[in-house]
Structure 1
Amino acid sequence: MKLTLISLSTPTFNNYRAASALPYHLIASVKKSFSASVEVYSYNINELNIAMVGQIEKELNITIHLLDKPKWLKIMMKLHLVFLRVFLKYPLYSYCSLPQKHIDSIKSTHSDIIWIYGEELAGHSKYFDGSKCIVTMPDSESLYYYRMLRQPWATMNLLQIMKYSFAYWQYKGLESHICKGDVIYHFVGKEDADFFKSMNGQANSLFMRHPLYAYNSEKIIKFHQPKIKLLFTGRYDFYCQHGSDDFLSELAKNCNVLSSYFEITFLGKGWVGWNEKLHEAGFQSQHISFAPDYIAELQNHDIQVNAIDVGTGTKGKVLDGIANGLLIIGTPYALENISVKNGESCVMVSNGIDFIQSLYVIKNNVSLYESIAKKGQEKVLLEHDTKDIAKSLFGIIN
């Protein structure tokens, strides 16, 4: 099989300044599954240097061609004039064109599949009429802004409403503009695929589970004693701040009882304030802003908590936690599109009070929740297998 990828970001093993890991792992698997030769054309928005690009080429045994962004776009970003995007009909990177010399070069390879990664580049399929084409979105940006506009805490002032409404209008317009009936639009979120289809009736939208990146299935799932190790992962940012504040406020209120049964670790940037508050409340708590070996650090803990308020697609750090043998306590958005079920292979909670109640139940039923963690790991290792997903995605074209 010959595969040509056109991507906004240069593929990397872990996300690097952009969502760049998904194409890396799918390329690695498709090369094994189909003995594929792969060429990549990248706008390199994650700004890998030449040495890093060469290393990726070596790791994956592929060729990477770097594409230039429009001069006006580079000037706009250099001078911090990105706010001028309000004068554009479509999102910023959708204006990246593909020079004719590269179009001709790609066509001359007679690739079996033209694979486009990134919603803003979906319109590039027009250059390859008659070719088999897959666009990995991988999420619906219009659905993201649609959901934002439904959140009371995210629409507290007129400026927020205007910001999200404008972005929704841009992405919805782009999706309608680029949609072609002979192109497969691949999503890692079921509601994303359904939303795209509802807005574009002729669309051939496809949902597939998010593939696993890195995991160690050798971990023995047995909670630490005398204190179960509770882990909050990811950056403390807009996506989880509202929910995390709710969870952690309730946790601090219940310190007198729960501090005897749980110790807390924050893994990621931005948690300094909450780490100090829990210390003051009486919990054993630590903050790790960066772990050189993320998987090893994950597996030092028993339960991962993700209070994600909004988003689309699949939350990679939640998937990582389950695959590495941790029991996941998460909100509906945190667990969305992951092959687990509340009470059987994960614990789903909606607010801080539910979260605290789940901790009281867990401390009194440790063996049961160890088995739930094990079931979750088994489910995702089976149904989020990267090799199987690559086979299905690139085999479906036939």
Structure 2
Amino acid sequence: MKIACITGYTPTPENKRGISALIYWLIAERPKDVKIKLYTYNINNISDDEVKEIADRLKIDIYKLNIPYWYKKLNRSFFCKFLDLFLSKPLITYIKPCKGILPKLEESDYIWIYPYFFYNYSNLLPRKKFIVTGCDCLSNVCTARIGDLFYIRTFLRSIRQFIIRRNCISLEKDFNNSNITMHYVGMADMMFYKRLHNADNAFFLLHPHYELKEKRIKFHTDKLDVLIAGEYNHYMISDTDEMVDELIRLNDLQSRVRITFLGKGWENVKEKLIKYKYECEHKRWVDNYADEIIKHDVQITPISHGGGTKGKVLDSIGNGLLTIGSKYALENICVRNKESCILYNYASEIPSILRSISLNKEKYEEIAERGRRQIIKYHNPARISRRFFEIMKNI
């Protein structure tokens, strides 16, 4: 089976400046009879030496495509944040296929687009079969955002989100095409797309885990070592602020937890907690993400909206951290509340959960161990990759 893959992000074992790991693991564990030529716009700016190393490791051919000058110019301009108000689809979808590439694509049995950015190749090759990996259903994500406090509190933010949602719905109508099959890593995303567009050209598969590290699950004896990973942005602001307010109000966990923030934007949150005598550390970046997270006992993922599968949650559970998360953080992951993870309904519950963990460490260590086993079994990259290419072959 010969596949041509058009991707925005050069595949990497961990997400690197973009969602580059999902495609890496699907390719890495593919059946032996699947031959892939990959054409990348390299939005994540992987160096030529690293691209060659990745191509050798994955045993594929990788060719770089140029992003048009007009897109680079507009995307970096002040006006970029306002373009959604005037365009009917996301700006990146207006990039036209590179000259000379279409005859090369004709040689393949299937064309795989990752993510949806370059779905418009399907219009130029109507007789070819296309698989478009979403990864999320954009209109579903936007619908969830509209109900989030971060957007509700600001009128202009709310209006802009309604407009973006309209644009995403317009875009997704184009996906419902006879030569396109949609691939989602979110069950709710797939169902939302099917219902909204009366479509039957989509399937869902679990997200493969990334490389996992050996870790002995034994919580620290003095204080629980708590990790909050990711950027303090619109995905996490609402639930983080609610959690922090409750930590300050209760004011009795300082002797039980120390908190590490890993990612951008946590400076003010850290200082606020330090003011109330919490032991906190902030790391904007680490060289090896997996080596860093296994130093901790617990990960909190306070995501208040979203779609698809969250790679950092898979990383956390699969590497043996007891993971506390919202329904958005834990969706599409094969774990169950109080058996292999901890699900909160409101972020204000998190401090009480941390207190319970500190008083019942062995019980929660067992939950973390069951979570790790679930990820290893059900999110195994070889299992998911095999199924992905089986589906592709039968389209």
Q: Which amino acid aligns with 1:190?
A: M
Partner of residue 369, structure 2:
374
Equivalent of residue 310 in structure 1, options 305, 312, 319: 305
* Superposed displacement of residue 88, structure 1: 2.1
Residues 1:91 and 2:95 aligned together: no
- In structure 2, runs of 5+ residues without a counterpart are none
Corresponding residue for residue 67 of structure 1: 65
Residue 74 of structure 1: CA displacement?
A: 3.5
Following TM superposition, the consecutive aligned residue runs of length 4 or more in structure 1 with deviations greater than 6 angstroms are: none
Partner Cα distance (2:320, 2:76) in 1: 44
Q: Corresponding residue for 1:269?
A: 264
The Cα shift of 1:341 comes to: 0.9
TM-score normalised over the length of structure 1:
0.92
Q: Which of 220, 242, 249 matches 1:253?
A: 249
Aligned pair in 2 of structure 1 residues 282, 53: CA closer, same or farther (>3 Å)?
same
Matched, 1:240 2:239: no
Cα distance in 1, alignment partners of residues 222 and 75 from structure 2: 52
Distance in structure 1 (CA, Å) of the matches to 2:71 and 2:85: 14
- Flag the 1:185–1:277 CA change in 2: closer, same or farther, 3 A: same
The alpha-carbon deviation at position 54 of structure 1 amounts to 2.8
Cα deviation, residue 222, structure 1: 1.4
- Secondary structure of 1:221 counterpart: coil
Counterpart position of 1:206: 203
Once residues 219 and 49 of structure 1 are traced to their aligned partners in structure 2, the CA distance between those partners, rounded to angstroms, is 31
Aligned to 2:4: 4
Distance 1:38 1:233 in 2: 34
User: What is the correspondence of 1:160-239 to structure 2 with a 5 Å cutoff?
Assistant: 160-216=157-213, 218-239=214-235
Give the equivalent residue in structure 2 for 1:13.
13
Distance change in 2, residues 1:369/1:38 (3 Å): same
SS of the equivalent of 1:340 reads: coil
Map 1:27-66 onto structure 2 (within 5 A). Answer: 27-30=27-30, 33-66=31-64
Please name the residue that 1:324 is paired with.
Answer: 319
- Asked whether the 8 Å contact 2:256–2:355 carries over to 1, the reply is no
- What pairs with 1:95-174 in structure 2 (closer than 5 Å)? 95-99=94-98, 101-108=100-107, 111-174=108-171
CA contact (8 A) 1:255 1:283 kept: no
Distance 1:89 1:297 in 2: 42
Instruction: Read off the aligned partner of 1:135 and give its amino acid letter.
Output: V
> Within 1, Cα distance between the matches of 2:271 and 2:152?
30
Q: Is the 8 A contact 1:181 1:203 kept in 2?
A: no
Q: Secondary structure at the match of 2:19?
A: coil
Gaps of 5+ in 1: none
CA distance in 2, matches of 1:163, 1:44: 29
User: Is the 1:180–1:203 contact (alpha carbons within 8 Å) kept by the matching residues of 2?
Assistant: no
Change (3 A) 1:106 1:181: closer
Amino acid at match of 2:103: D
Determine the C-alpha separation between the residues in 1 that align with 2:170 and 2:291. 43
DSSP-derived class of the 1:215 partner: coil
Change (3 A) 1:298 1:161: same
1:118 Cα offset (Å): 1.5
Instruction: Give the C-alpha shift of residue 116 in structure 1.
Output: 0.8
Question: Secondary structure at the residue paired with 1:396?
Answer: helix
For the residue of structure 1 that corresponds to 2:10, the secondary structure is coil
Instruction: Report the Cα distance in structure 1 between the residues aligned to 2:357 and 2:199, rounded to whole angstroms.
Output: 47
Where 2:338 maps in the other structure, the secondary structure is coil
Please report the TM-score for the alignment, with normalisation by the length of structure 2.
Answer: 0.93
1:219, distance to aligned residue in structure 2 (A): 1.3
Q: CA deviation at 1:86?
A: 3.2
| Alignment partner of 1:346 is 2:345 | no
Contact 2:150–2:237 (8 Å) recurs in 1? no
> 8 Å contact 2:37–2:62 — kept in the other structure?
yes
8 Å Cα contact 2:299-2:324 kept in structure 1: yes
Asked if structure 2 preserves the Cα contact closer than 8 Å seen for 1:240 and 1:309, the reply is: yes
1:85 Cα deviation after fit: 4.5
- In structure 2, relative to structure 1, the CA distance for the partners of 1:75 and 1:279 (3 Å cut) is closer
2:173 and 2:197 in contact (8 A); partners too: yes
Distance in 2 between the 1:74 and 1:306 partners?
33
Query: What is the CA deviation profile of residues 183-240 of structure 1, one whole-angstrom value per residue up to 9, with x for unaligned ones?
Result: 3210011111001101222331111111111211x31211110222111111112210
Cα deviations by residue, 1:148-173 (Å, 9 ceiling, x for unpaired): 11224412233112211111111110
Offset, 1:100: 5.4
Aligned length: 392
Q: Give the aligned CA root-mean-square deviation in angstroms.
A: 1.9
Deviations 1:238-264 (A, max 9, x none): 2101111111221233333x2222222
**Could you tell me which amino acid in structure 2 is paired with residue 312 of structure 1?**
G
Contact 1:215-1:295 at 8 Å conserved across structures? yes
